[in-house]
Amino acid sequence: MTGDPEAIRRAVEARAKVSGEDPLLRAEEEVIDSEGDAAGDTDTDTPRPPKQESASSPDPDTPVRPSKTAQRLYRELARRSHPDLVQDPTEIARRSAFITRVNAAYEKDDLPALQKLSEEWSLTAVGPAPDAPQREKWLQHRLIWLRAKQAELALERQTLLENPMADVLAAYQYDALTALRSISEQLYTAIQERETLLNALIGS
């Protein structure tokens, strides 16, 4: 999932133990692709091992291998937004939440989502200095993005409110923990009543 060559090699070898396929060629392909892409290698004269064609249909359990475009975009986002780059706890938490979304999109090879996250990070970062010429344009783009995000959240809120579960949460003033405890107590009481009735029927 991280794209690390060593992690890919271990994953390929582990899968080979249960699938019976030769892990060496696949591991070499994965490592070469990852290392070459990370180094920006464009040398087409270097021969690479031919990829094996599978006669059977793809294994649905096989993880999606992100495209090279997604890999480059993922590395760029990780480089810019990694939590280890800051010291402030609030900023670390914000970056951790953001990088979690980046990882989820990368695992699915969701290039549009990665591009959207890249735009989001560009607009939510600190931006140009207050006296920089690009500051006004950056603020305009950020305002547009914030308005779009506000509309998106409003639509999501409306969708959630129309969900039957919203009525249950509303009854408990949207306190999910209290609602869960109350519902579990009601279910436990109902189970006890059914058990008592069942015991009475068996006894009779």
pLDDT tens, 13-65? 777 666 554 444 444 444 445 445 444 444 444 445 444 444 445 455 566 67
User: 78: Cβ–Cβ under 8 A, 6 or more apart, which residues?
Assistant: 99, 102
Question: Which pLDDT tens digit goes with each residue over 160-193?
Answer: 788 888 888 888 877 888 888 888 999 999 999 9
Residue 176 burial by CB count (10 A; 0-12/13-18/19+): exposed, middle or buried?
exposed
By C-alpha distance, which of 68, 79, 80 is closest to 106? 68
- State pTM to two decimals: 0.40
Q: What are the φ and ψ backbone dihedral angles of 20, each rounded to 5 degrees?
A: 80, 10
